[in-house]
């Protein structure tokens, strides 16, 4: 299938064939096609990546070919095209992605590559297109048994309590290895797995190297058709339209996917252990792939259905024709990863995982959060390096709203205190000071400070705004925000501007609220103090390791220091980082 389209594309010269445009268009619902056309460009004018690759789990290698068609839709000519190879990010990394045989419109060129940046010399006039072809070779991180244990490190333990306590959601910190470009006995996760077009703003390519905190990938909307060859018996889950999985010789199979309007590389997951279930909802095909049998896949479908129903009713239609969820062996405490059309969940987080210690509701809340990212980052883009709170805070609060819609107001309130505010409380209990939310990811001193402020404090602005505006106007403002910025990149003032227009009666008050919550330091006063004893039941009772720590902390105000020391002693092997932070406080946040 892909080979035929590559040939058709080559025959069409620098452009994209009509057959490929039709195929990509089929991945979008009519509402999504209209939004993409109105806010970005026709599919034929968007960047299109055509990828053929093969995964070798035994060597942890990925080898492939890329043909990227890019159109200059600006008023001035380009003299180079910049690609990003995100597996090259981070010091001490265990992954890499290198390119060879780079050609521009069939002519071999020499590129300049450093870190994640690949600069390709290419003169592209306004309105013209260029076809870049190359081969790429990826070295994945090899996972070993126990790497995906959620209690393997302090970050893992913290992530069991709230999605941000260790950064548990997103494509964070490639240098520490969250398993987003990795393969092991239970399968592979492929995020940012082939060279992709760099984001472009105000006539400049984004060349900034990602730091060690926050999400890595930054991209504008484009389209992709990818074919991945895997060993026979492996199932592949991916974003967009699944075009089938077919034999590729006696011991291999090839799976093909196509999607339009996605940011970055089209995400995939592959496993020899997947059970897959599908469910057709109005306008959207749900696909769930689980390492825990049919029951595990059913859990994924149930949470995805609840999230889709709530979020579409509140914020407008999901734009693609399919939504896939897949379990993968994420590491280092990561609970989930958001990608357009695909939500990846840590397999260790599933209630079906052997010995799972997930607190009640944690699996569902993480699932809701990742599906909410389909609206806030998948559709409405934002810069994950310069303004990380823009999508994370709204996705986090949207997960609270899904909880409320699916399970009732009391459950939503509990999620707000347990899975949102607890991020902030965890930061403060580790002796990290309150700080300003609105700053680049690299300006945070530690992952715990990032999580406490971005996942814990920032979402509470939306809770207070909704209290002022009322539920109906809050949802109307969020829909207006989505309509204004669908398939574009919103800035830090985008939601507030939509809210002020929607609710002029509270416009000034909303501005003051955003200033207070995102620019100033009133967290202890506004978020309040943690009630450790009350939280223990929510977190699974006194047998939960962190609940034991909370009990000790609760008693420390009245001569309970010995209990704190005992709790830390019990957790020392599992939580060395937290133990060190307890003894050596980090500097105050700005």
String of DSSP letters for 230-299: EETT-EEEESSEEEEEEE-STTEEEEEEEEEEEESSPPEEEETT-EEEEEEETTEEEEEEESSHHHHHHH
| Spatial separation of the C-alpha atoms in residues 118 and 193, rounded to whole Å | 15
CB atoms within 10 A of CB 143: 23
Chain position carrying tokens 């999901």: 318
Which pLDDT does position 50 carry in this prediction?
A: 98
459 closest CA partner among 422, 488, 489: 422
The Cα-based distances of 522 to 3, 247, 436, 587 in angstroms read 58, 59, 9, 18
Tens of pLDDT along 536-588?
A: 555 555 444 444 444 444 444 434 445 445 544 444 444 444 444 434 444 45
| Spatial separation of the C-alpha atoms in residues 377 and 392, rounded to whole Å | 8
Is the model's pLDDT at 590 over the cut of 70?
no
Q: What is the mean pLDDT of residues 47-62?
A: 98
Phi, psi of 403, rounded to the nearest 5 degrees = -60, -45
CA 17 to chain centre: 31
DSSP conformation class of 382: -
| Spatial separation of the C-alpha atoms in residues 112 and 119, rounded to whole Å | 5
Tens of pLDDT along 343-373?
A: 999 998 899 988 776 778 889 999 999 999 9
Which pLDDT does position 289 carry in this prediction?
A: 98
| Spatial separation of the C-alpha atoms in residues 202 and 261, rounded to whole Å | 20
| Spatial separation of the C-alpha atoms in residues 441 and 213, rounded to whole Å | 6
Which pLDDT does position 348 carry in this prediction?
A: 86
Q: Residues, the chain, total?
A: 590
- Cβ partners under 8 Å of residue 203, min gap 6: 74, 76
Is the model's pLDDT at 494 over the cut of 80?
yes
| Spatial separation of the C-alpha atoms in residues 182 and 16, rounded to whole Å | 32
Which pLDDT does position 581 carry in this prediction?
A: 40
Which pLDDT does position 447 carry in this prediction?
A: 87
The SS3 assignment for 126 reads coil
**HSE toward the beta carbon, residue 217, CA cutoff 13 A:** 32
- For residue 48, list its beta bridge partners: 69, 223
Is the model's pLDDT at 138 over the cut of 50?
yes
Instruction: Enter the tokens of residue 60.
Output: 């942890």
The SS3 assignment for 46 reads coil
CB atoms within 10 A of CB 234: 21
- Which range, of 67-81, 369-383, 421-435, averages the lowest pLDDT? 421-435
Average of per-residue pLDDT values in the chain: 86
The Cα-based distances of 562 to 119, 549, 554, 566 in angstroms read 58, 11, 12, 6
Is the model's pLDDT at 19 over the cut of 80?
yes
Q: What is the mean pLDDT of residues 282-286?
A: 96
351 closest CA partner among 401, 286, 302, 307: 302
Which pLDDT does position 550 carry in this prediction?
A: 45
Is the model's pLDDT at 285 over the cut of 50?
yes
Q: What is the mean pLDDT of residues 121-148?
A: 91
Pairing of strands 129-139, 96-104: antiparallel
Phi, psi of 274, rounded to the nearest 5 degrees = -70, 135
The Cα-based distances of 571 to 179, 378, 534, 580 in angstroms read 24, 38, 21, 12
223 closest CA partner among 16, 420, 399: 16
| Spatial separation of the C-alpha atoms in residues 297 and 405, rounded to whole Å | 22
**Sheet of strand 284-290, all strands in order from the earlier edge strand to the far edge:** 275-281, 284-290, 322-328, 342-346, 336-339
- Dihedral of alpha carbons 34, 35, 39, 43, sign: negative
**HSE toward the beta carbon, residue 246, CA cutoff 13 A:** 8
370 closest CA partner among 215, 145, 503: 215
Which pLDDT does position 23 carry in this prediction?
A: 97
| Spatial separation of the C-alpha atoms in residues 507 and 120, rounded to whole Å | 47
Tens of pLDDT along 197-210?
A: 999 999 999 999 99
Inter-residue contact 122 to 132 (CB < 8 Å): yes
DSSP conformation class of 215: B
CA Rg, the chain, in Å? 23
Name the percent of the chain lying above pLDDT 90.
71
Inter-residue contact 269 to 329 (CB < 8 Å): no
| Dihedral-angle region of residue 363 (phi above 0 means left; psi in -120 to 50 means alpha; beta otherwise) | alpha
| Spatial separation of the C-alpha atoms in residues 283 and 293, rounded to whole Å | 26
| Spatial separation of the C-alpha atoms in residues 342 and 265, rounded to whole Å | 11
Which pLDDT does position 573 carry in this prediction?
A: 42
Which pLDDT does position 158 carry in this prediction?
A: 45
- Which range, of 320-334, 400-414, 493-507, 539-553, averages the lowest pLDDT? 539-553
First to last CA, the chain: 53
> What band does 212 get if pLDDT is binned at 50, 70 and 90?
confident
| Spatial separation of the C-alpha atoms in residues 492 and 390, rounded to whole Å | 6
Which pLDDT does position 529 carry in this prediction?
A: 76
Instruction: Enter the tokens of residue 189.
Output: 């996760």
Is the model's pLDDT at 166 over the cut of 50?
no
| Spatial separation of the C-alpha atoms in residues 545 and 559, rounded to whole Å | 21
């Amino acid at each position: 299938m892909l080979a035929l389209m590559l040939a058709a594309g080559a025959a069409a010269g620098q452009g994209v064939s009509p057959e490929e445009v039709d195929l990509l268009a089929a991945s979008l619902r009519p509402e999504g096609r209209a939004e993409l056309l109105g806010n970005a460009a026709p599919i034929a004018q968007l960047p299109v990546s055509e990828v053929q690759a093969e995964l070798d789990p035994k060597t942890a290698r990925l080898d492939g070919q890329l043909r990227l068609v890019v159109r200059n839709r600006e008023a001035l000519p380009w003299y180079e095209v910049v690609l990003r190879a995100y597996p090259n990010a981070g010091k001490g990394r265990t992954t890499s992605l290198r390119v060879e045989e780079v050609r521009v419109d069939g002519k071999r060129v020499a590129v300049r590559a450093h870190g994640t940046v690949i600069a390709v010399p290419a003169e592209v006039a306004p309105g013209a297109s260029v076809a870049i072809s190359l081969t790429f070779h990826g070295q994945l991180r090899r996972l070993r048994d126990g790497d995906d244990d959620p209690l393997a490190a302090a970050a893992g333990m913290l992530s069991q309590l709230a999605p941000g306590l260790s950064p548990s959601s997103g494509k964070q910190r490639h240098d520490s290895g969250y398993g987003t470009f990795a393969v092991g006995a239970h399968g592979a996760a492929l995020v940012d797995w082939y060279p992709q077009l760099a984001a472009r703003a105000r006539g400049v390519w984004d060349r900034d190297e990602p730091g060690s905190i926050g999400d890595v990938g930054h991209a504008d909307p484009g389209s992709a058709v990818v074919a991945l060859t895997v060993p026979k018996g492996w199932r592949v889950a991916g974003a967009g339209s699944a075009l089938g999985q077919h034999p590729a010789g006696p011991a291999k199979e090839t799976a093909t996917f196509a999607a339009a309007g996605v940011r970055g590389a089209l995400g995939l997951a592959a496993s020899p252990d997947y059970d897959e279930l599908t469910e057709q909802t109005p306008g959207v095909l749900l696909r769930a792939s689980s390492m825990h049998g049919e029951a595990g896949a059913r859990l994924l479908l149930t949470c995805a259905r609840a999230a889709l129903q709530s979020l579409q009713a509140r914020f407008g239609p999901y734009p693609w024709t399919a939504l896939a969820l897949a379990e993968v062996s994420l590491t280092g405490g990561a609970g989930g990863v958001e990608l357009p059309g695909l939500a990846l969940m840590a397999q260790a987080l599933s209630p079906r995982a052997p010995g799972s210690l997930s607190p009640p509701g944690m699996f569902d809340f993480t699932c809701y959060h990742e599906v909410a990212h389909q609206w806030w980052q998948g559709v409405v883009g934002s810069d994950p390096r310069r303004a990380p709170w823009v999508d994370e805070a709204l996705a986090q609060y949207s997960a609270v709203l899904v909880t409320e819609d699916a399970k009732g107001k009391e459950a939503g309130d509990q999620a707000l205190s347990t899975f949102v505010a607890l991020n902030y409380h965890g930061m403060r209990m580790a002796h990290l000071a309150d700080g300003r939310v609105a700053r680049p990811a690299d300006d945070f001193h530690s992952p715990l400070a990032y999580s406490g402020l971005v996942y814990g404090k920032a979402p509470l602005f939306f809770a207070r705004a909704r209290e002022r505006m009322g539920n109906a106007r809050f949802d109307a403002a969020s829909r207006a925000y989505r309509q204004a910025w669908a398939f574009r990149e919103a800035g830090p003032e985008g939601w507030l501007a939509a809210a002020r227009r929607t609710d002029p009666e509270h416009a000034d008050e909303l501005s003051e609220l955003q200033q207070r919550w995102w620019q100033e330091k009133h967290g202890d006063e506004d978020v309040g103090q943690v009630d450790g004893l009350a939280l223990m039941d929510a977190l699974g009772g006194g047998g939960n390791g962190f609940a034991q720590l909370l009990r000790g902390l609760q008693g420390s105000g009245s001569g309970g220091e010995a209990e704190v020391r005992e709790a830390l002693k019990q957790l020392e092997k599992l939580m060395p980082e937290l133990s060190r932070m307890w003894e050596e406080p980090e500097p105050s946040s700005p």
